[in-house]
Every structure is written in structure tokens, then in C-alpha cells.
A and B are shown apart, each in its own frame.
Chain A
Amino acid sequence: MEPIIRFENVHYTYPGDELESLCGVSLAIEKGSFVAVLGHNGSGKSTLAKHMNAILVPDEGRVLIEGVDTADEERLLDVRRRVGMVFQNPDNQIVANVVEDDVAFAPENLGVEPAEIRRRVDASLRLVGMYDFRMHAPHLLSGGQKQRVAIAGVIAMQPEIIVLDEPTAMLDPQGRHEVVSTAFSLCRARGMTVVYITHHMDECIDADRLIVMSNGRVAADGTPAEVFANTALMEREGLDVPETVRLLQELRAAGVRLEGEPLAVEPCAELIAQALLKRSRK
């Protein structure tokens, strides 16, 4: 199947910068998958994200969204409609003083019929669980609620892809949980392709795929279990590894036989319990 997002040897340098911020990134992202992106500060995660909806276009190489080249100015709106972007600071992406007016902003820009806009706004707000707040002023909402409004604002464009650039960086644990579970439900229940950029490795555990960026390059790419298993690389990149991975590795080093790579705490506990049971039977 043709991947929904394809990066072909993308190079990009910010105007006035000396160092390349993306140096030869090639990627193919499958439709309907949940892709998490990790990387230290300045590793090029945001630059990567901004290439996905033609906010930035490559100096060299190409980015294709469902086969459409992002450098094609004629198809600019087409690309942007397909790829919804949610940014870190919710305050700086909400454009209206009333929640429902903000959610209507994108479809209004696209020239959608008024009745259809109304329908989409209500549906998007219900989807993120903010329908009851539709008449509220955004600046009085909590961080997690604002971020869900921002997500509703891009869902109203009916995109196939949603890119979230550190959407939880400014939120408390409660807000983080709200946003992460909203992002997962969009992918799992609605079949949207989600690219989720974050600093928190625990938010990546359930992703289909984990990409680690380092100095403008893809340093690792695979399932979360595969990527986290490479603890040496993760340490070099200054990234955390789930405690479960460390525990399993230490147990293995101590000679315990364990099959599989569970990342979440419960299945990991299960695995260890069974292994210990087997041992004691012997």
C-alpha cells in the first residue's frame, strides 16, 4: 500500500542558519498508524513536523502527502486540509474568544457551507469531549481542555493525518492524560494517522512505531519495544527508557529466561511472575 506520508531524502536549513536542521531524512508512514517521535531538544522534531503540512518545504528532496508534493503551490490548501497540526502552546493557536467559533475557523477558511460547518463543529467538539464547553471563553479553560479544543479545531477540517508537536509539554498530568487518550482514540477508533511528537517516553509505549530523531537524522525507527531495547542508543540520545525495559534486561543478565518485550507495567509484572513460578516449580 502507498504510504500516506513519504519523506524522500529531505534536507532543510533555516534561513540564516549554518547547520542543517534536517539532513537527509527518509521516512514512510502507513495510513492509520500511530507514530511517536522522540528526540532531545533541537534534534529537528518540530522541523520535521512543519514539513508535513508545507509550513516548511525541503531545500532538497521531497515530501509527499498521499502522493501530493508539498512543494506544489497549487495544491497547498489541499495538503494543509489533509494534515491537521496541533502545537505546544494552546494559547497561541486558539484564534477566537468563544470555543465553537474557534473550531469553526478552519472550515470557514475552506469555504464550507454554513450548515455543514455547524455540523462539523458539533461533531468535532463531541469527539474530543468538549461539546458542553462550546460557548465558553478559551482563556478560562484548563490546559488540557484548551489543547482538546485545538484538536477539535483541526478535526473540523476532516484531515486524514493529525500531527501533534509536543501537545502535552505545558500540561499537568491530568491534562496530559486527556490529550494522549484523545490522540489515541482518534487513531484507534477513527482510523486517522497520528504523528505524535513528545518528550515523555511513557506516552510512546502504546504507539505502533517509534522514531528517534537526533541532530536532524533518524537515529532509530521501529516498534517501541525494539527501539527501547537498544538502551545504549537511548542513553546516548539522553532519552529515558521505561523502567520495565531496564528491569527485564537486568533480570535477563542475571540469567532469568523471559520471552517477549512488554512495556507497560501490568503485562511486565505478569511475565515476571510466570517466569518466577516456572523457576520455583523446577
Chain B
Amino acid sequence: MLKDITLGQYFPGDTVVHRLDPRTKILLVVVYIVALFQAEGWIGYALVTLVTLLCTALSRIRLRSMFKGVRPMLFIIALTALLNIFYTTGTPIRPGWIVTWEGLARAVQMMLRIVLLISGTFLLTYTTSPIALTDGLELLLNPLKKLRVPVHEMTIMMSMALRFIPTLISETDKIMSAQKARGADFETGSLTRRAKALLPILVPLFVSAFKRADELAVAMESRCYHGGEGRTRMKQLRMERRDCIALILGGIFLALMIALKSLCL
């Protein structure tokens, strides 16, 4: 079950999408999210879906991996859909029913919106190595350093978190199996009972996470880590022509979405 969490996973590859500068990709994801929220009516959603599928195809990420990213959110998606079905007024699909055609349409659109939102952001993490991602973010946020925002510290924390997610997940799995072997039951009982059953997992997990953090800090210091000052990078980020083209295409896409929205209104 825990193995399904794909947050921060990276699928190495050598496609155009992989080769884009991480800064370009971060900016494009922001553009994408803004565009997604402009979507109005079926044409708008169809357009965003098309763009998403196109980018996925370009990056050679399998659709199955995309669905894996969406799966942990299924509950929230279903809930949103239900709420929209029952709380939208309009023409009932049959006289006397509370379910309306408008409600159904909205439910489908909301589901699409969430799925597309997740897919778009996952496409970024799937095609960008965490180091490139945090490097790009640090460079983009660099101007904030003037305002004394600890940009380097924030991004190094993020990259350590991304690095340790798989480690902590497999550790949680191990602890859970160990507790199950001793007869712990995480699946049945009331919510409070299940929450209580989680406690014997959280405590050892926290203890080991702190120990890891301690050892990691010593290991980093041993390798001469002393903050962001005077640090260089092996992989220099460089904006190429493909980045310019991608950004222009992103801009056109956003303009199109905004135009479509004003047409619909």
C-alpha cells in the first residue's frame, strides 16, 4: 500500500521534456496550473487534457505511472464528485430527483480538474531529478535572498526530504510488518481504534528518523558542507533555445485558455 506513494519519484530519461531546464519546467507548471483554473466548459477541459496527454507522450512516461500518482487521492476526488452531484441546482435528470444534469457535468469537470492538477505536477517530478528541481527552485527564488529569505536552507531541506521519502516509506513498511507479525491490526475497528494502532508505528519511526537526521548531519559536515556560501554545481543550469520555445508555447497556451474563458462568459 505504501509503495504506491510516488511523491518525489523520478524516472530518468533522455526526452525533450527531461532535457528542459528545471526552471523552465517549474515556470511551465505554474503556467499550467493557472491555465487549468481558467478552464470553462468542455472545450477548455478538452484542451488542457490534450496538452497534458501530449506532454506525457513527449516525456515517454507511461500512463500507468500517472494513474499511480493519482491513486492515493481517489478518496478526495470521489468526495468532491459526490458533493458536486448533490449540491448543484439545475434540471433534474428525472423529475423529482435531486441529481441534476448540471451537477453531473460539474462533477466530471471537478474530477478532471483534480486529476489534471496532479498529473501536471507529477510530470514535473517524474522528469526532473530532485537535485535539478531544487537547484532550479533555488535559482528562481534567488532574488528573495536579498530580502533575507533563507532560500538555500529551504531548498536543501526540500532535497533532503525528497531523498529520504523512499527510505522512510520502506522503513514504515518494515515496522508495520513487524507489528502485524505480533498481531497488530491496522485495518479493522473504529477510526479511533485504528488511529491508536498506528501509534506503535509512529514512535519507532520518529526515533529512527531523528537518529538518521543526526547521522546525516555528521556525514554532510564530514563532506565539507557549510551552507550555500561558495558552493558550486557540477551540473550548470543553462537556458537553451528549446527552453525559450517551451516558454513561448506555454504563454500561447495560457493566452488561449484566457481567451476561451472570456468567450464562454
Contacts and interface: CB of A to CB of B under 8 A. Distances in A.
Interface string A66-86: 000000000001001100110
A104 interface: yes
A96 B233 CA distance: 13
A92 B220 CA distance: 10
Contacts of B224: 77, 80-81, 106, 109-110, 157
The binding surface of chain B is classed by DSSP as helix
B12 A89 contact: no
A106 B223 contact: yes
Interface residues of B, number: 31
Contacts, number: 101
B232 A111 contact: yes
Contact of A87 (B129, B218, B236): B218
A108 B231 contact: yes
Contact of A95 (B12, B220, B236): B220
Interface residues of A, number: 40
Interface stretch (A5-13, A112-120, A191-199, A226-234): A112-120
Given A93-B215, A108-B231, A101 B129 contact: yes
B131 A98 contact: yes
B11 to A, nearest CB: 10
B215 A108 contact: no
B189 interface: no
A109 B231 contact: yes
A91 interface: yes
- Which of B130, B170, B232 has the largest number of chain A CB atoms within 10 A? B232
B230 A111 contact: yes
B216 interface: yes
Contacts of A142: none
A114 B10 CA distance: 23
Interface of B: 10, 12, 129-131, 159-160, 162-163, 166-167, 170, 212, 215-216, 218-226, 230-236
